[in-house]
Amino acid sequence: MSKPSSTPDNSSVNPILLAMYRYKFAIILCLFGIWITFFDSNNLASLFQLKKEIAKQENKKEFYQFEINRLDRAYQDLTTNENTIRKYGREKEWVKGPNEDIYKLVPERQQSNN
């Protein structure tokens, strides 16, 4: 008498189930990949969105560092150079020197109708 085999005869098993049994690790790997790509909280769409946001924030950081350096240089120049102090006072604060008159020219479109 023959021994019963542990694998079923190919004629009595559905071929799809047989293929799934043979490639079970590949199927599990594919399902895992699909889960990570679309359904996980750290999926690819959110990963790309976060990378884009990081790049935007890095650009902002560079801009603000440049502005900070520019303003620091201007501050140093204002606190140390007398000509720069005088120029700033005349242009921004309307400070006049001795024997000078200041006239402010305002374009017509900015004047109010009284």
- Give residue 62's pLDDT band: very low, low, confident or very high (50, 70, 90): very high
- pLDDT score recorded for residue 106: 82
Range of the domain at 93: 52-97
Q: Which residue has the tokens 């959110």?
A: 46
Same domain, 60 and 34: no
Same domain, 71 and 91: yes
Comparison of pLDDT for 103 and 47, the residue scoring more: 47
Give 13's DSSP letter: S
Same domain, 59 and 80: yes
Averaged pLDDT for residues 64-89: 91
Whether residue 110 is contained in a domain is answered as no
Same domain, 37 and 56: no
Whether residue 73 is contained in a domain is answered as yes
Same domain, 61 and 89: yes
Q: What is d(CA 9, CA 33) in angstroms, rounded to the nearest whole number?
A: 33
pLDDT over threshold 70, residue 64 = yes
Same domain, 62 and 35: no
For residue 35 the two structure tokens come to 């889960």
For 28-53, the pLDDT digits (tens) are 999 998 888 888 888 888 889 999 99
- pLDDT score recorded for residue 3: 58
Q: What is the DSSP string of 73-85?
A: HHHHHHHH-HHHH
Comparison of pLDDT for 3 and 60, the residue scoring more: 60
Domains identified in the chain, total number:
2
Q: What is d(CA 72, CA 80) in angstroms, rounded to the nearest whole number?
A: 12
Q: Which residue has the tokens 């594919």?
A: 30
Whether residue 56 is contained in a domain is answered as yes
pTM: 0.50
- Give residue 113's pLDDT band: very low, low, confident or very high (50, 70, 90): low
Whether residue 103 is contained in a domain is answered as no
**Mean pLDDT in the chain?**
83
Whether residue 1 is contained in a domain is answered as no
